[in-house]
Amino acid sequence: MSASKIEWTEATWNPTTGCDRISPGCNRCYAMTMARRLKAMGSEKYQNDGDPRTSGPGFAVTMHQESVLDPIVKWPRKSQMVFLDSMSDVFHARVAADFQGQIFATMALTPQHSYQVLTKRPGRMRELLADGDQCQGNGIAFLHKQNGEWATTRRYGVGILDGPRIYGSATQDAPHGLVLHEILQRVGKKAAGRELDGRTWDEFPIPVGRDKRVRSSYSSAQQED
């Protein structure tokens, strides 16, 4: 468990590491690239290699029992926005159900923290958390975002990508009414910025029935409106 430089969180907690690509939404996975680097650096958590067809060096799904209680032991009082499994997917099929139960028990025992859970496997999430809508009942937000339908494209426009640039795209078999005359080439948030409609969006849902305080770091954008 460690502090994070990610703009929308404050700390990361990885009781599991490693994953497998399962959809186009997993392309260019930053965690798989990072795991390769951490393995080369000798990091103990990243010495198990995954299937080269879907994973990579240092990125086999691995459960770390020693990390399950980190939020209780390392941050017993300080309130944090915590990104769970930034280097894995807690709902991966190879993460045992009882181990997942321990992770959720730790979250339930640390109500001072707000947990962010990212998954590409909403089906298994529904299987494990179906009874009683546990997520909503405990004030935990589960958000699933991934790319929409994919179509074959032919791209044109070349040059050195030194900043945001518009280029053309001829899309085959696009749904009726979808027109893509111009789209943006990805150059990264450092070059392009993080604004949408003239502002950044860093708010987080306020837990209902538990702690109605709005954390200043996530409410500043609202106060400016």
Q: What is the pLDDT along the chain (225 residues), one digit of tens a residue?
A: 677 878 888 999 999 999 999 988 898 899 999 999 999 999 999 999 999 999 999 999 999 999 999 998 888 778 889 999 999 999 999 999 999 999 999 998 998 898 999 899 988 888 877 644 555 555 555 554 455 544 444 444 444 445 555 444 444 444 444 455 445 566 677 777 777 778 887 777 666 555 444 444 344 444 444
pTM over 0.75: no
- Supply φ then ψ for residue 17, to 5 degrees: -135, 155
- Domain residue spans of the chain: 2-147, 153-192
Rounded-to-integer distance, Cα 1 and Cα 55, Å: 23
Question: How crowded is residue 81: how many other Cβ atoms within 10 Å of its Cβ?
Answer: 18
Token output for 151: 């179509």
